[in-house]
Amino acid sequence: MKIAVAGTGYVGLVAGVCFAEKGYDVTCVDVEEKKVELMRKGISPIYEDGLEALMQKNNAAGTLHFTTDYTKAYKDADAIFIGVGTPEMPDGSANLSYIATVSRQIAETIEKDCLVVVKSTVPVGTNDKVEQFIKDFLVHDVKVEVASNPEFLAQGTAVRDTLHAARIIIGTESKEAEALLKKIYEPFGLPIVSVKRRSAEMIKYACNDFLALKISYMNDIANLCELVGADITDVARGMSYDERIGARFLNAGIGFGGSCFPKDTKALKFLAREHGYQLKTVEACVDVNLKQKTRLFEKAKDRMITFSGLKVAVLGLTFKAGTDDLREAPSIDNLKLLLAAGADVYAYDPEGEERARQLFPEGGLEAGTMNYTDSIEKALDGANICFVFTEWPEIKEVKPEGFKERMHTPLVYDGRNLYSPEKMKAAGVEYYSIGR
pTM recorded for the entire structure: 0.91
Class in CATH terms, 203-292: mainly alpha
pLDDT reported for residue 367 = 85
∠ CA 168-170-176 to the nearest 5 degrees? 130
∠ CA 376-381-385 to the nearest 5 degrees? 90
pLDDT band of residue 290 (cuts 50, 70, 90) is: very high
Residues whose CB is less than 8 angstroms from the CB of residue 327 and which lie 6 or more positions away in sequence, other chains included: 257, 258, 259, 262, 319
Buried b (16+ CB within 10 A) or exposed e, 9-28: bbbbbbbbbbbbbbebbbbb
- How far is it, in rounded angstroms, from Cα 298 to Cα 291? 10
pLDDT reported for residue 248 = 94
| Per-residue pLDDT reduced to its tens digit, 235-256 | 999 999 999 999 999 999 999 9
365 has a pLDDT exceeding 90: no
Percent of residues, the chain, with pLDDT higher than 70: 100
Class in CATH terms, 2-195: alpha beta
Contact (Cβ atoms closer than 8 angstroms) between residue 138 and residue 104: no
Q: Which of 332, 337, 310, 336 is nearest to 407 (CA)?
A: 310
For the domain 295-432, what is the CATH superfamily, name and number?
A: NAD(P)-binding Rossmann-like Domain (3.40.50.720)
Across the chain, mean pLDDT equals 96
| Per-residue pLDDT reduced to its tens digit, 9-42 | 999 999 999 999 999 999 999 999 999 999 999 9
∠ CA 9-71-54 to the nearest 5 degrees? 35
Q: What average pLDDT does this structure show over 130-154? A: 96
Contact (Cβ atoms closer than 8 angstroms) between residue 330 and residue 389: yes
First and final C-alpha spacing in the chain: 55
| Per-residue pLDDT reduced to its tens digit, 70-116 | 999 999 999 999 999 999 888 888 999 999 999 999 999 999 999 99
Catalytic one of 18, 114, 260, 285: 260
Q: What average pLDDT does this structure show over 175-189? A: 98
* Domain locations in the chain as residue ranges: 2-195, 203-292, 295-432
Fold match flag (203-292 vs 295-432): no
pLDDT reported for residue 20 = 98
Annotation says 260 is catalytic? yes
pLDDT reported for residue 92 = 85
